[in-house]
Amino acid sequence: MEATGSQVNYGHVALVEPVAGGFKELTHRTHADGVAWYGDWMLVANGTELQVYDLRHVWLMSSTDPKAGTGVVAGRSSAFGHKWALPLVARYSTTGATIGNPRACGMATPAGRSASAP
């Protein structure tokens, strides 16, 4: 979101993965099952992993040309044609899941109770 006076503009932010010398498109692009905002962190769950993004590091791109790709080339930054990019800072994998083959959610059993208890 950008605000100048009373004018407010909303836009998209590209989720990117930092690499040596810049950033790149996410290695595994999947559908977000859930998104949560907690303090300075944006948490994205996708059934395979929990991705963590740092909202203190929203990057302004120098190019919004969608043909420019994603990353830093010749000193110019671009992220899918978006004006802003948000870097991935951590990821936590779901046990038993692989990208493209998420782990099915099962029924949780509270401590001290058997799975057959009502």
Q: What are 63-92's pLDDT values in tens digits? A: 888 888 788 887 888 888 888 888 889 988
For residue 110, what pLDDT band results from cuts at 50, 70 and 90? very low
Least confident of 25-34, 40-49, 104-113: 104-113
Q: DSSP assignment of 41-102, as one string?
A: EEEEE-SSEEEEEETT-PEEPSB--GGG-EEEETTEEEETTBSEEEEEEEEEEPTT-BTTBP
Evaluate if pTM is beyond 0.75. Answer: no
**Sign of the torsion angle spanned by Cα atoms 102, 108, 111, 114:** negative
Quick one: which H or E segment has residue 40? none
> Residue 98 and residue 118: Cα distance in Å, rounded?
32
* HSE of 17, CA atoms in CB hemisphere, 13 A: 10
* pLDDT tens by residue, 50-64: 889 999 998 888 888
Q: Tell me: pLDDT of 24 over 60.
A: yes
pLDDT at 26 over 80: no
Longest CA span, the chain: 63
Q: What is the rounded distance in angstroms from the CA atom of residue 61 to the CA atom of residue 72? A: 9
What is the Cα–Cα distance from 94 to 58, expressed in whole angstroms? 26
